[in-house]
A and B are shown apart, each in its own frame.
Chain A
Amino acid sequence: MTSTTLEPTSAQAAPPRPKPTSAFSAWANRHRKWLFAAPAMIFVAVLIIFPLVWTAWLSLTDSHGSVRAAAKFIGLQNYATVLTDTTRFWPAVGRTVLFTGVVLVFEVVFGMCIALLLWRPFKGERWVRVAVLLPLVATPVAVGMMWRLIFDPNIGFANQVIGWFGIPPQPWLAGQETALWTTMFIDVWQWTPMVALILLAGLTSLSEEPQEAAKIDGASTWQRFWFVTLPLMMPTVIVAILLRGIDALKTFDILYATKGKGGGSFNEVETLNVYAYGLSFDYNQYGVSSTVLILFFLLIIGVMWALTGRRNKKKEA
């Protein structure tokens, strides 16, 4: 923005002459676009870039025991170790991807259903909204503890409930095969409302004309959803997938609260985040842990790249 001074008209008194500005404000004026951005830039530098660079550096050393202990620079040795580790690292990558993929599908589908239900006003919708959003306000760790009690194979409520229907007791979180799926269920239970909320915001901002035009043209409800609502909603759906996807990749609290260290005795729910945490806090192997985190970071960037890339292509098309 450029500032222009008004020419004084004859009706007005001559304006006071502008005061000579101090050196600082002149400097501030010249650099205002940097000055206003400075707090945010400093924040990013201190809290994001520095830890990132530091983690990258640690991943090239044999740092262990304490990050302040002298560490030797060992180049890419940690990366070789981690990338050839088929007992813990690759299964953790697999679980991370599987967990994220499955919960995303369910959360987006269920979230869409809930958003469509809440889209049109109906009697008692306020209460329904509150009920739907309840899981969202609970702390994930507390949620994990709660479900852990519910799913306890011996004294838990879940087995009692399915017992009423004659289904034999299930191991749930205790089973090697069932544990990961059970944690996915908990994640879906907790985060579907958030997805629903984002999608509902998208739905309420859609204009009514296309819907009405489709109605007049005799489209069925299903056709209206599939050919009108959904395409218009796509940008919102992508945003929801992006936000929830990054979060789901990083899921830690639910897994840790339900299965504890190392994702259980057989590492049955050990995702990358749980693995990296264990490497730092249980094994004190800061170098290896940083390596896993950097690889994890690259995975997240890759996923985001794929998603945002699709979005930009769509825009260009």
Chain B
Amino acid sequence: MKVPSFIKVAAVAAVASLGLAACGSGGSGASDSSAPLRVTLANHVWTEQIKAAIPEFEKQTGIKVELTQLGEDQLSDQYNVKLNAGTDEIDVMMYRPLQEGKLFAKNGYLADLTGNVKQDSSWDWSDFQAGPVKATTADGKVVGVPIITEREVLYYRKDILQSAGVAVPKTMDELKAAAAKIKAANPDTAGFVARTGKSTAVTQFSSFLYSYGGDFTQDGKASVNTDAAKKAYAFYGGLIKENGPANVSTDMSWPEAMAIFTQGKAAFYTEADSLYKNATDPAKSKVADKVGFAPLPAGPAGSKPYNIPSWALGVNDASKQKDNAWKFVQWATSKERTLAAQKAGVPGARTSVWASPEGTSTYPKDLAEAIAVSAQNGVGHDRPEVITVGKAREIVGAPIVSAITGADSGKAADDAQTAFSTFLGTDK
């Protein structure tokens, strides 16, 4: 039989081009009580310490746990593919309430836990901080339990500040002056470094935006070209352009920015406090013993860092083992486990743990103080609160990159405003 060459071509091309579109859909086997509980977690310090404790949970409950660990982006993609296919192969999921929370809730991926959180008074749902709880609640239903919280703080190099005769900056203007002075004195050292990627920088830029008196939206309408926002864009971008590393890349997320700081190439760095171990652990940092921490310097509207739950645990609504999944969530977020995680360097969401001296016993003293200050005047979101966060971040992040590269960030902010307004109209 002679196959027409067109069909041959089409078949080969199909094989060649569809690496992306093929998604496996989970087969739904009937579940029995001895089936393992499938837990998907992100690569994180929190995960490392919970992993070590899982045998304890297995012994207590007789539930077998099957753990999958993935990087942040891969995790997000996995959820997109698997949950889209309606899989029941994920029972417990670690997710980012501010990144995927709204989308997952809208798609009905997250089980309603409102009844579960009220069951056990000794586990004590009211012990969780209000801000994080708001982020894991959708349409009045609790859909997740916050496990990791973070705030933006100022990382700085004690030795450089001392030799330059600069005090720890308390305001944005002081930060700029100090960074400029240091860069002028040491041409090899950047005065300031921070994230620069269009989308990745948005969360760290948000604290600057709030401290200048702006926000991404006001009363549900886009507000990224207000005077306050334009000043914040120009300040953040200008700080990096004028006092940042010599050949600054506009793709830096935290690993790249952190690397510059921990290689000893920058004096100031604004970043999430939950990453502090990367800077103070001698195995990861050349300047481990020289790092100091301070609250975010104050802008015209004061010091307003974000204070957010970066990760939470949820239960897949299609799971066939919701009760066991909840048992795991409850165990992983108990007071004891939260304290253990916090001692390992992961800031949690329980008020009682923060209040106990043990809760901050392992933290550098100045970091614990900075966290306490930031928790009081923090803002509960660090990115636009929308469904399609990925797209929104790219839109509102564009002026940051314009400012870093020396383009007209005011015009970029006007363009972003137009695009963001259109986006908000379609984001349903």
Contact = CB atoms under 8 A, between A and B. Distances in A.
Nearest to B23: A51
Nearest to B198: A265
A308 B76 contact: no
B16 interface: yes
A260 B388 contact: no
A52 B18 contact: yes
B5 A312 contact: yes
B260 A65 contact: no
B9 A252 contact: no
Contact of A260 (B16, B251, B398): B251
Given A48-B14, A155-B259, A293 B246 contact: no
Contact of A266 (B10, B84, B200, B401): B401
Given A65-B106, A265-B197, A283-B388, A300 B250 contact: no
Contacts of A155: 259-260, 263, 265
B19 A250 contact: yes
B391 interface: yes
Given A154-B260, A265-B251, A281-B80, A300 B86 contact: no
Interface string B305-326: 0000000000000000000000
Given A55-B21, A265-B196, A265-B251, A169 B86 contact: no
B52 interface: no
A170 B249 CA distance: 11
Contacts of A301: 9-10, 13
Contacts, number: 143
A103 to B, nearest CB: 16
A51 B21 contact: yes
B103 interface: yes
A147 B398 CA distance: 26
A44 B263 CA distance: 51
Contacts of B398: 265
Given A52-B18, A265-B196, A300-B13, A174 B247 contact: yes
A102 to B, nearest CB: 20
Contacts of A300: 13, 16-17
Interface string B224-247: 000000000000000000000111
A52 B405 CA distance: 42
A283 B423 CA distance: 11
A114 to B, nearest CB: 25
Contacts of B369: none
B414 interface: no
B204 to A, nearest CB: 14
A260 B13 contact: no
Contact of A261 (B11, B18, B199, B249): B199
A260 B253 contact: yes
Contacts of A261: 73, 199, 390
B56 interface: no
Interface in A117-160: 152-155, 159
Given A250-B17, A301-B13, A153 B247 contact: yes
Size category of the binding interface on chain A:
35 or more
Contacts of A69: 107
A65 B196 contact: no
Contact of B251 (A259, A284, A290): A259
Interface residues of B, number: 54
A1 interface: no
A281 B256 CA distance: 23
A281 B199 contact: no
Contacts of A51: 18, 21-23
B394 interface: yes
Nearest to A262: B394
A228 to B, nearest CB: 30
Contacts of A54: 21
Given A261-B199, A301-B10, A284 B388 contact: yes
B407 to A, nearest CB: 10
Interface in A11-43: none
Interface in B385-401: 387-388, 390-391, 394, 397-398, 401
A67 interface: yes
A84 interface: no
28 contacts: A44-B11, A48-B11, A49-B14, A51-B18, A65-B103, A66-B84, A68-B86, A153-B249, A154-B260, A155-B263, A171-B247, A171-B249, A173-B251, A174-B248, A174-B250, A260-B197, A260-B251, A262-B198, A262-B394, A265-B198, A281-B390, A282-B390, A282-B391, A282-B394, A284-B390, A293-B20, A296-B17, A305-B9
Given A55-B18, A153-B245, A176-B250, 10 more contacts: A68-B107, A153-B248, A169-B247, A174-B251, A260-B200, A265-B401, A277-B20, A290-B21, A293-B17, A305-B6
What 8 A-B pairs come out closest when comparing CB atoms?
A282-B390, A174-B249, A153-B247, A265-B198, A66-B107, A265-B250, A246-B16, A265-B401
